[in-house]
Amino acid sequence: MSDDQASSAKRTPLYDLHVELGAKMVPFAGYAMPVQYPTGILTEHLHTREKAGLFDVSHMGQVRIRGANAATALETLVPGDVVGLAAGAIRYSLFTNEAGGILDDLMITNAGDHLFLVVNAACKDADFAHLRAGLPDHEVEMEADRALLALQGPAAATVLARHAPDCQALGFMHAAPMRIAGIDCHVSRSGYTGEDGYEISLAETHAEALARALLGEPEVAPIGLGARDSLRLEAGLCLYGHDIDTTTTPIEAGLAWAVSKRRRVEGGFPGAEIILRQLAEGTARKRVGLRPEGRAPAREHTEITDPDGRPIGTVTSGGFGPTVGGPIAMGYVASENARKDGVVALVVRGKPRPARIAGLPFVPTRYHKP
Sequence length of the chain is 370
Q: How far is CA 3 from the centre of its chain?
A: 29
Say if residue 352 is exposed, middle or buried (CB neighbours under 10 Å; 0-12, 13-18, 19+). Answer: middle
Rounded Cα gap, residues 107 and 101, in angstroms: 18
Rounded Cα gap, residues 10 and 58, in angstroms: 11
Specify the pLDDT at position 370. 76
- Strand (E) or helix (H) holding 19: helix 15-20
Q: Where are the beta strands (DSSP E) in 21-67?
A: 24-28, 31-36, 52-56, 61-66
Residue 85 is given by DSSP the state P
Specify the pLDDT at position 369. 86
Domains and CATH numbers, the chain: 3-57+145-234 (3.30.1360.120), 284-358 (2.40.30.110)
Between helices 41-50 and 225-234, what is the axis angle to 10°? 50
Say if residue 366 is exposed, middle or buried (CB neighbours under 10 Å; 0-12, 13-18, 19+). Answer: middle
Residue 193: strand, helix, or coil: coil
Give pTM, 2 decimals. 0.97
CB atoms within 10 A of CB 139: 12
Say if residue 191 is exposed, middle or buried (CB neighbours under 10 Å; 0-12, 13-18, 19+). Answer: buried
pLDDT in tens, the chain (370 residues): 554 555 689 999 999 999 999 999 999 999 999 999 999 999 999 999 999 999 999 999 999 999 999 999 999 999 999 999 999 999 999 999 999 999 999 999 999 999 999 999 999 999 999 999 999 999 999 999 999 999 999 999 999 999 999 999 999 999 999 999 999 999 999 999 999 999 999 999 999 999 999 999 999 999 999 999 999 999 999 999 999 999 999 999 999 999 999 999 999 999 999 999 999 999 999 999 999 999 989 999 999 999 999 999 999 999 999 999 999 999 999 999 999 999 999 999 899 999 999 999 999 999 998 7
Instruction: Name every residue whose Cβ is closer than 8 Å to that of residue 266 and which is 6 or more positions away in sequence.
Output: none
